[in-house]
Amino acid sequence: MNRKIAWSITAGLLLMSTQVMAEWKTLDKSWHLGPPFSLLGPRPFNDVDPQNGIVINAPFYATKIRVIISERCFSRKQKIPLCCWSIKRAADYVRICDKNGTVYKKLFGKSTREETYEVPSNGIRVQVFSCRNSVPETFPNDHIDIDHFEYFIPDGLVIDEHFPENFFWGAATSAFQVEGNSIGTDWWEWANGSPEHCKGDRIGLATDHYNRYEEDFDIAQKMGLKMFRLGIEWARIEPEKGVFSRDEIEHYRRVLEALKKRGIEPMVTLHHFSQPTWFANQGGFEKEENIEDFLEYVEKITNEFKDLITYYITINEPSTLALGGWTKNGGLPPGKNDLKLASEVYANCFVAHARAYHAIKSIQPQAKVSLAKHMRVIIPNPGYLIDDPTLMTKKITKAAGDFMNEAFLDAILTGNISIILDPLSPTIRNVPELRGALDFFAVNYYTRDRMFFNIVEEGNIFGLNIMYRSEQHEYTPMGHRWEYSPDCIYSLMMRLKKFSEDFNNLPGIDHLLEGIIICENGVGDVNDIGLATETMRPQFIIDHLHFLYMAIQDGADVRGYLHWSLLDNFELAEGYRAQFGLIGVDCRNDAGLTRIWKNSAYLYQQIIKNNGLTNDVIPYVKQ
Ligand code: BGC
């Protein structure tokens, strides 16, 4: 055979292997909204929120969707969906939105049960909203069920989304959530305290990562991870104020060496929620003077491990720490309810970060130091009766966004801290060391919040009974109810692109911001231990990476993505009831703590192997 023909055959075969024949695929999920929201048990896939009912997401590469509403949603006499007798027609409830939530098309007319819809262009989110009546307790049958949902993959689809060279593919963990026996920490006491804490779960052995780190790093290596984010447990290193444990320092040296040996770059978090009880008992970050204690520990770690650690995270998610620990029903220790103290904790974490940043850099100038900032995309929610958000809704949206996102960005750019959690008593400070105190931007992204002003529902963030957030709260673990919003990672990256430009033009700051690393992103499936029941995570990963890829294409300097988490672990206020792991570990029931590769773990391995998204990912979305 001559060479030309052989080449054409090979090229043809290669092309065929990357193409998918046009086909409809049904997502193997259940979309029945069922009885009133308050009575719902765990739902395997859908996001359900009190305003927007069911949200079904087709994968980003779908080009058409087909939706069929359940027969029982239609009244025989009227041939119209039952829900429309209340305020709006069914057409208002089942609709397709683009990635910004803008409604493209209200799908259903009065008596339509089935609709097919073309998705205008690749990268547009397709979401089908099925809204309940606003008073489900009164009209329990007044809801829409989706009987069938399909999406279409076109002929010759080629997914070719490669990430930059040397991209840090990785996973993240924190010390007390995986290590086990986190004795001497405030979290250990909290979880062992009232049975109302952590849904009655105790930390116990957790995944026993403290003893099984070699096995876990073997898994990480097999998965292809290039970076691994781990926490050092301060209470182990310094069990009593001023007393450092040589044994524990040696333990973490072995842990870090075990990663290095496998070619995996460690990223070390110095404070990830848990802290020594002696520190917590003296008020922790409530008091600015306590920052000195944190600095002694930070300096100790840097001096001990400067040969092994390059990437440092000083503090994880100050907003979660402050809201979770110091607002009503926050679910995290110390379980106080005091908005002023919450603001102080938030501000003191910024200050502690700045001082830790300079302390680390003075010992190890080449270190790369950041703070893991939880950021959420916060948008106004349209009202029930009118589509436009009200003026108050807009104001609350702005205030929440300032608190959650902008306060930190401003502090780094200007050195000014302005935290307005309690409008009557804002926390305002000028801390010059904060200006420019970042080497790269570490961001944790999970979900977006839709805000709306509501005088009836109880307030959350501001503790004033005037505001209600339609999604779960910062201090509530993601679980299965957090809104699925992969597109928002794009808008977030665009915001951080602008921030990076501002940072890099700061007068008097002699270093540039070295890109962005997503230090956490993941999803808490409930009861998804093992391969059998995992339904959401694979598509979650694919869709988030797709929008991250789009952001990189549009100029965001993203250098890494660390999935939360490598292992199922102790999920804060949810105890062991929400599983975030690529690897399943049944900490409550399996005495052997067997590590189980989930579908998403294999998918992630494949993505890392290809350095991005290719047609190889398609089979991982559960059909
Ligand atoms: C925290 C993790 C937590 C995860 C899921 C993040 O906000 O840093 O500790 O497990 O969210 O809720």
What atom of ligand 1 comes closest to residue 374's alpha carbon? Answer: 7
- Describe the crossing of helices 291-305 and 246-261 by its angle, rounded to 10 degrees: 50
What atom of ligand 1 comes closest to residue 174's alpha carbon? Answer: 9
User: Residue 484: what pLDDT?
Assistant: 72
**For 516-553, how does the pLDDT look when each residue is reduced to its tens digit (9 = 90+)?**
999 999 988 765 555 446 767 888 899 899 999 999 99
Mutate to test the pocket of ligand 1, among 320, 443, 471 (most ligand atoms within 8 A of CB): 320
What atom of ligand 1 comes closest to residue 316's alpha carbon? Answer: 8
Name the DSSP class of 406.
I
Evaluate if residue 164 carries a pLDDT over 50. yes
What atom of ligand 1 comes closest to residue 317's alpha carbon? Answer: 8
What atom of ligand 1 comes closest to residue 574's alpha carbon? Answer: 12
Kindly give, in sequence order, each residue whose CB lies less than 8 Å from that of residue 549, ignoring residues fewer than 6 positions away.
161, 163, 612, 613
Q: What is the DSSP string of 392-404?
A: HHHHHHHHHHIII
Beta strands in 248-307 (DSSP E): 265-271
Q: Whose CA is nearest to atom 3 of ligand 1?
A: 571
β partners of residue 271: 315
User: Residue 574: what pLDDT?
Assistant: 86
For ligand 1, the distance from its centroid to the CA atom of residue 96, given in whole angstroms, is: 30
Evaluate if residue 228 carries a pLDDT over 80. yes
105: which 2 tokens?
């098309």
Is residue 142 a contact partner of residue 133, using CB atoms and an 8 Å limit? yes
Evaluate if residue 459 carries a pLDDT over 90. no
Kindly give, in sequence order, each residue whose CB lies less than 8 Å from that of residue 521, ignoring residues fewer than 6 positions away.
444, 445, 446, 489, 544, 561, 562, 563, 564
Lowest mean pLDDT among 172-176, 254-258, 390-394, 500-504: 390-394
CA atoms of 269 and 179, how far apart (whole Å): 14
Lowest mean pLDDT among 114-123, 171-180, 455-464: 455-464
User: Residue 536: what pLDDT?
Assistant: 76
Evaluate if residue 292 carries a pLDDT over 90. yes
**For 130-149, how does the pLDDT look when each residue is reduced to its tens digit (9 = 90+)?**
544 333 333 334 455 667 77
User: Residue 154: what pLDDT?
Assistant: 85
What atom of ligand 1 comes closest to residue 478's alpha carbon? Answer: 12
**For 574-605, how does the pLDDT look when each residue is reduced to its tens digit (9 = 90+)?**
899 888 999 999 999 999 999 999 999 999 99
For ligand 1, the distance from its centroid to the CA atom of residue 150, given in whole angstroms, is: 32
For ligand 1, the distance from its centroid to the CA atom of residue 392, given in whole angstroms, is: 30
Q: What is the DSSP string of 49-63?
A: ETTTEEEEE--TT--
102: confidence class by pLDDT, cuts 50, 70, 90? low
**For 187-218, how does the pLDDT look when each residue is reduced to its tens digit (9 = 90+)?**
999 999 999 999 999 999 999 999 999 999 99
Lowest mean pLDDT among 24-33, 367-376, 570-579: 24-33
For ligand 1, the distance from its centroid to the CA atom of residue 477, given in whole angstroms, is: 7
User: Residue 244: what pLDDT?
Assistant: 98
Lowest mean pLDDT among 95-99, 299-303, 413-417, 593-597: 95-99
User: Residue 478: what pLDDT?
Assistant: 40
CA atoms of 22 and 453, how far apart (whole Å): 45
pTM above 0.75, yes or no: yes
Which residue in this structure is represented by tokens 């940072």?
Answer: 503
Evaluate if residue 265 carries a pLDDT over 90. yes
Mutate to test the pocket of ligand 1, among 520, 576, 582 (most ligand atoms within 8 A of CB): 520
97: confidence class by pLDDT, cuts 50, 70, 90? low
For ligand 1, the distance from its centroid to the CA atom of residue 102, given in whole angstroms, is: 29
Which residue in this structure is represented by tokens 């974490």?
Answer: 349
Lowest mean pLDDT among 289-303, 319-333, 361-375: 319-333
Q: What is the DSSP string of 153-202?
A: E-TT---EEEPPTT-EEEEE--HHHHSS--TTBHHHHHHHS-TTGGGG--
Evaluate if residue 402 carries a pLDDT over 90. yes
What atom of ligand 1 comes closest to residue 565's alpha carbon? Answer: 10
What atom of ligand 1 comes closest to residue 477's alpha carbon? Answer: 12
Q: Whose CA is nearest to atom 12 of ligand 1?
A: 477
Per-residue burial over 181-201, b = 16 or more CB atoms within 10 Å of its CB, e = otherwise: bbebbbbbbbbeeeeebbbeb
**Nearest CA among 480, 477, 346, 345 for reference residue 402:** 346
Evaluate if residue 437 carries a pLDDT over 70. yes
For ligand 1, the distance from its centroid to the CA atom of residue 83, given in whole angstroms, is: 37
Mean pLDDT rounded to a whole number for the chain: 81
Higher-confidence residue of 360 and 467: namely 360
Q: Whose CA is nearest to atom 11 of ligand 1?
A: 477
What is the CA angle 21-67-448, rounded to 5? 95
Mutate to test the pocket of ligand 1, among 375, 471, 478 (most ligand atoms within 8 A of CB): 478
Q: Tell me the mean pLDDT in the region 76-99.
A: 47
Taking phi first (over 0 means left), then psi (-120 to 50 degrees means alpha), and beta for anything else, what does residue 165 get? beta
User: Residue 89: what pLDDT?
Assistant: 42
83: confidence class by pLDDT, cuts 50, 70, 90? very low
109: confidence class by pLDDT, cuts 50, 70, 90? low
**Ligand 1 first shell, C-beta below 6 A:** 174, 177, 316-317, 320, 374, 444, 477-478, 520, 564, 571-572, 580
